[in-house]
Amino acid sequence: MKVFADKLPDALAKKLPPVVIVAGEEPLQHMEACDAVRAAAREKGIDEREVLHVEANFAWSQLHETANNLSLFGTRKLIELRLGNHGLGQEGGRALKEHAERLAGSDDVLLVSMGKLDFRQQKSAWFKALDKVGLFVPVWPVDLSRLGFWLRDRAQRHGLSLDLDAARLLGERTEGNLLAADQELQKLALLVPPGGRISARQVAGDVEDSARFDVFTLTDACLQGTPARVSRIVAGLRGEGVEAPIVLWALSRELRTLLSLHQHLDQGQSFEHACKAQKPAIFEKRRPAYQQAIARLPIRRLHKLLLFAQRLDLAIKGASTLPPWDGLHDLALTLAGGRGLLAEMPSSYRIG
């Protein structure tokens, strides 16, 4: 049964299942979900814990042996299977399915900690067997549109009252790094009395800019049509030393995807079918952003942007005098519906 991270403590308080799968790549929520399972196990009198780290050449027979070993301190124990981003393979899938089948005669609890679990894996036999008897906790990054509200609620855990403007500013300064955001809230809690109210001005003065970006954050911002955020992300990527070819690759990929969507729509296909026809297919969660971009960018404009991307490729390789990072900023900003830095430069530099 699927349970989201913020609802997990309540679900565990009702019943501690024999299996909990925590899957995802957002570290703060992932860590806290695993901590909640450990705390629930202790409350049920399970004091013994055995940890199995899945690495290259991991012997899956260890899971069976650990489950069959008698506990030294009681009748129950918590077994943690830490996969990280390692794949299960056929042997691992078979071992987990067999473990699920043996749970009827066991009082142990299995905590499976792993990276992102895609839809294909969720249809596998091992996942269905474990999900049938336990809880599945998918850990997703907090969406940008909800981040301010999430931080405002999070501040209450530290005895703070954060107004929405302050929460949004904190989100901007720690975007994509919830661990950093929580650490900043802990620092702020030391500066004000319990229940103290934090303003945006205080956040601006006391919180360092800890935002961490990647090229996928940039392309999402471009598709969503947020020029100011795009400028900030491009500056952040450049400051963090991200290579220009990687940024160009990500932007060019989105341009080709948008052109392909246009072509499918021009053939009379539905937008949903056009999204499914992409390789890889566009997930349902991302489709509204692509739909916004399609409405904003006609096919002729996209062709011009792709030609500009080709000129940027030459500039990065040293075969053109076009300034690469200014050009990348111009390309991303125009894709987001803004006006690039090169607009006032000679016509040979412009997107057109």
pTM of the predicted structure, to 2 decimals = 0.63
Q: Which numeric CATH code is attached to 215-349?
A: 1.20.272.10
Q: Which letter, b or e, does each residue of 21-33 get, where b requires 16 or more Cβ atoms within 10 Å of its Cβ?
A: bbbbebebbbebb
Q: Where in the chain is the domain with CATH 1.20.272.10?
A: 215-349
Q: Which numeric CATH code is attached to 5-139?
A: 3.40.50.300
- CA–CA distance, 301 with 340 (Å, rounded to integer): 14
DSSP H or E segment with residue 276? helix 271-276
Residue pair 189/300 in contact (Cβ under 8 Å)? The answer is no
Q: Where in the chain is the domain with CATH 3.40.50.300?
A: 5-139
Looking at domain 144-206, which of 1.10.8.60, 1.10.10.10, 3.90.1150.10, 3.30.70.330 is its CATH number? 1.10.8.60
Q: In 3D, which of 212, 215, 331, 224 has the Cα closest to residue 286?
A: 224
Q: What is the pLDDT along the chain (352 residues), one digit of tens a residue?
A: 888 888 899 999 998 999 999 999 888 999 999 999 999 999 988 888 889 898 888 888 888 888 877 655 556 889 999 988 888 888 888 999 988 888 766 778 999 999 888 888 888 898 999 999 899 999 988 887 788 888 888 888 888 888 888 888 888 777 768 888 888 888 888 877 777 788 887 777 766 555 667 888 899 999 999 998 899 889 888 888 889 999 999 999 999 999 999 999 999 999 999 998 988 888 888 899 999 999 999 999 999 999 999 999 999 988 888 899 999 999 999 999 887 655 444 444 455 5
- H helices of 15-80, in order, are 27-43, 61-68
